Amino acid sequence: MTLAQHRLIADGAYLMTAAELDAGLGADRNAWQRFGRHWDALADDPYAAELGTRRLRRYGHFAFVPADAAIDPMPHDAFVQPQASNPLYVDRSRHFEPLTDAFVEEPLLQRFLRLLGQVATMLDDLPRWSVKVTPFRVLASTSDGGDPTPEGLHRDGVTLVTSLLIGRDNAVGGESSVFSADGRHLLSTTLSEPGTLLLGDDRRTLHGVTPIRPLDAAKPARRDVLVVTFAPMAS
């Protein structure tokens, strides 16, 4: 993780290959395939539906303590993004279905969160972090585009923001872009290989993803990602 941490500090964003992440987690393709099955248990996102996007998700809140690398589940709560971050949902409480017990107990998730905790601690030396975990599935047809970020370029109002590709099928589009706070383009990429991880220092950058469309018009397009954020834990 040293390269990722140093590049993130220097540039504000870093794209980690699946091979790099596998090495850091001790994971293989079988582990990712097993993990990806949890995306079949997501629930509809009614707030995205208001904007014409078919998106499924769940949400979980954890505390991370760097001193002992503890990942502790927090009580399920409303999802609220700070003012001046996401322009569509300024201080709006959104209520999503919680993560399933099987998802929370998944060993690969636990290892992944601890690894991200190491990165977050490089950005800011805090005794306790608020960790929000959101698996997403975006679906699209020829008549209904799937928009992963209907709010456009935005911040999440956190310290570390990450997007991990779990899988995609029959999809074109879905290009992720990261810009500096002053509008300078840092990187653009289409996450295509499961296990590819995009990391960003959310205090210094903006990010967004273009809509997806079906490659074969007879079938829906699908894009599955896991978004995890680290922010200072409120006292």
CA distance 40 to 203: 33
CA distance 77 to 61: 8
| Amino acid 53: pLDDT | 75
Q: Which residue is associated with the tokens 């295509």?
A: 192
Mean pLDDT by 10 residues, the chain (235 residues): 80 95 91 94 85 86 96 89 59 82 95 96 96 96 82 90 97 96 95 96 96 94 98 87
| Amino acid 79: pLDDT | 76
End-to-end CA distance of the chain: 29
Q: Flag whether the pTM goes above 0.75.
A: yes
- Residue 233's closest CA among 101, 120, 119, 150? 120
Does CATH number 3.30.365.10 belong to domain 3-232?
A: no
> Do 182 and 153 form a contact (C-beta atoms < 8 A)?
no
- List CB contacts of 228: < 8 A, sequence separation 6 or more: 112, 113, 116, 131, 132, 133, 134, 162, 164
CA distance 69 to 111: 10
**Residue 195 backbone class (left: φ over 0; alpha: ψ -120 to 50; beta: rest):** left
| Amino acid 1: pLDDT | 57
How many CA atoms lie less than 13 Å away from 157 in the CB half-sphere?
Answer: 14
| Amino acid 91: pLDDT | 57
